[in-house]
Structure 1
Amino acid sequence: MSGWIGRARAFVTDDNLDLYLLALVGLVFTVLGITGLSDVTTLASAVLALLAILAFSQIKSRKLTQRINGARSGAVALRGEFPPDLIDRRASASDILLIGLTMTRTVQGMRTDLPTVLKTGGRVRVLVLDPTDERLMVIADRHRAHSQGVEHLRARIRATLDDLTSVRERHGGRLEIRVLSTIPSAGFNCLDVRKPNGVVCVQHYEFHPEGEAAPIMVLSKDDAPWYQRFAAEAERLWESGADWPAKV
């Protein structure tokens, strides 16, 4: 007896109950119509009832889809490499915030695009480690997988700063340079954050990585709330930096 009760309860609570009823009612009235046991008025009423059941099924299906989409929002894909279109997106952006340990590779890759961004009125901000902070240089060098010494790290940062300073002197524009007295937890490429098509690319600074530090996350405004959270963290890091060269 308990087995029948369990099966009945499972049938009643089944998510597909409306579809079972739709199929059953449709089959019954199809047979009645074929055999002539039901008149046109009754069949018309039955059709309306079937449409109502179908509409209810569609509403339930849409709600389920919305719940699934809601559960997916906030889930961010983790990557092992930078997206292939990141360089092109930087070149076409008008508001750029770059944060990293040395940013040597990024700045060298922007040598052609950077003057164009500045000449068209774009704003570029770059934040790297302070090469004059001896303790910071020692800690940062220990964090790297293949250390080549503190002086090598310092030279890379100074090369980045020198390149940026030279670009600013030659081309002018809104190029701001700052240095950081702490090691950030991640590197940031924040591009047109306030625009609908903005992107925030975040690279976690993995301890002693074998290759490219990972994971790497590419966030758009659809990736709420993490898009706003990481963009806000990048802004806080920028605000904590000091102008380079130091203003006297």
Structure 2
Amino acid sequence: MTGADVPRPAQTAPGGSRRTALLRRLTGRELEAYLVSGAALVVGALGLFNVTSPEVVAAATLAVLGVITFDLLTGRRRLRRIESTLRTLAGNLRGDGADSVDRLLTPTVPGGAVGVAGARDIRLVGVTLSRTIRNHLDELRQQLAAGATVRVALIDPTGTAPQEAARRNGLDALGGGEVFEHRIQPTIDLLDYLAAQTAGAGRLEVRLLRFVPAFGMVLVDPEDPGGRIAIDIYSHRPDGREATVTLRAERDPVWYRHFALEFDRIWASGRVRDEHLT
């Protein structure tokens, strides 16, 4: 096959190419505006040169005015929709459009909002932490055996914190301080069990607080980009469940850092308990 026999793509005339490009650039709104303007010019020319009767010109004029009025109304509706969308977007950027608190706060067993499997740095804060330690006991044992660091802060059973916890829960008139002292002892026993199971692989640190923390926390690898913090919001006279919110380092940087620093402050104020612990 010679060069002359090779098929060549059809070429569009320069004028046709320009017309096609122009039509592509025209939106529906632009075409509508051109058509209305053209119709208005035609009606004006008909009336100016007496080409047709005045009645026809008047009817055509009313029709053009009606189209223009309808176009204006449609444009205003579109403008209102755009304004509404922009207000919604601005509200979301300001935080006004945040998700429902019913979905942000979830009822759960204290400490159960996040898992600790695979974590290298686990930090716990609470009043007695009895259910939290019990629910995560096997995971904590496995992570300590794998070399993780676990830090636990709970109230000091030998100070005034148990009485303060009882008062906050409405149990002070019933000798509630002793109730909290008895609740803490099983937690201490479980922590001693965990310390004995680590065999020196991981590190378990416990500090006792002379005050009652305002909330409970489970921090999982808090210094990593994928870290998580579950915050248990304590209730006065709890009914068996607590409100919990989970923060993520990449999603909630401001409040995540706030509560991570709160742990550091709580931890610094605690008394070291090192009996039987590694």
TM range (shorter): 0.5 to 0.7
> What amino acid maps onto 1:139 in structure 2?
E
> What amino acid maps onto 1:161 in structure 2?
I
Task: Confirm or deny that 1:185 pairs with 2:242.
Answer: no
Task: Confirm or deny that 1:235 pairs with 2:240.
Answer: no
The corresponding residue for 1:197 is: 226
**Which of the pair has more CA radius of gyration?**
2
Query: Matched residues, percent identical?
Result: 31
Task: Confirm or deny that 1:71 pairs with 2:94.
Answer: yes
Instruction: Select which of 135, 157, 160 maps to 1:109.
Output: 135
Displacement, 1:224? 3.1
Task: Confirm or deny that 1:170 pairs with 2:197.
Answer: yes
Change (3 A) 1:30 1:148: farther
The corresponding residue for 2:56 is: none
Instruction: Select which of 143, 160, 171 maps to 2:168.
Output: 143
Write the distance in 2 (CA, Å) between the matches of 1:83 and 1:155: 20
Which sections of structure 1, spanning at least 5 residues, go unmatched?
1-21, 38-56
Write the distance in 2 (CA, Å) between the matches of 1:226 and 1:128: 22
Change (3 A) 1:65 1:125: same
The corresponding residue for 1:47 is: none
> What amino acid maps onto 2:261 in structure 1?
A
> What amino acid maps onto 2:33 in structure 1?
V
Which sections of structure 2, spanning at least 5 residues, go unmatched?
1-26, 43-78
SS of aligned partner of 1:169: helix
What does residue range 32-47 of structure 1 map to in structure 2 within 5 Å? none
Task: Confirm or deny that 1:206 pairs with 2:206.
Answer: no
Displacement, 1:104? 0.5
What does residue range 10-49 of structure 1 map to in structure 2 within 5 Å? 24-29=29-34
What does residue range 124-143 of structure 1 map to in structure 2 within 5 Å? 124-133=150-159, 135-143=160-168
Displacement, 1:99? 0.3
Deviations 1:7-48 (A, max 9, x none): xxxxxxxxxxxxxxx7643312366899xx9xxxxxxxxxxx
Deviations 1:63-106 (A, max 9, x none): 87864443239958442413899466222322111100000111
Instruction: Select which of 246, 252, 262 maps to 1:223.
Output: 252
What number of residue pairs does the alignment pair up? 204
SS of aligned partner of 1:28: helix
Deviations 1:118-151 (A, max 9, x none): 1222111111000011x22211112225667322
User: Bigger CA drift: 140-149 or 101-110?
Assistant: 140-149
Displacement, 1:204? 1.9
Residue pair 2:109, 2:242 contacting (<8 A) in 1 also: no
Displacement, 1:238? 1.1
Residue pair 2:124, 2:218 contacting (<8 A) in 1 also: yes
Write the distance in 2 (CA, Å) between the matches of 1:236 and 1:170: 29
Write the distance in 2 (CA, Å) between the matches of 1:91 and 1:140: 30
Change (3 A) 1:194 1:130: same
Write the distance in 2 (CA, Å) between the matches of 1:189 and 1:201: 5
> What amino acid maps onto 1:238 in structure 2?
W
Task: Confirm or deny that 1:95 pairs with 2:121.
Answer: yes
Write the distance in 2 (CA, Å) between the matches of 1:181 and 1:31: 81
Write the distance in 2 (CA, Å) between the matches of 1:246 and 1:114: 19
Change (3 A) 1:207 1:165: same
> What amino acid maps onto 2:247 in structure 1?
L
The corresponding residue for 1:3 is: none
User: Bigger CA drift: 200-209 or 225-234?
Assistant: 200-209
TM-score (norm 2): 0.61
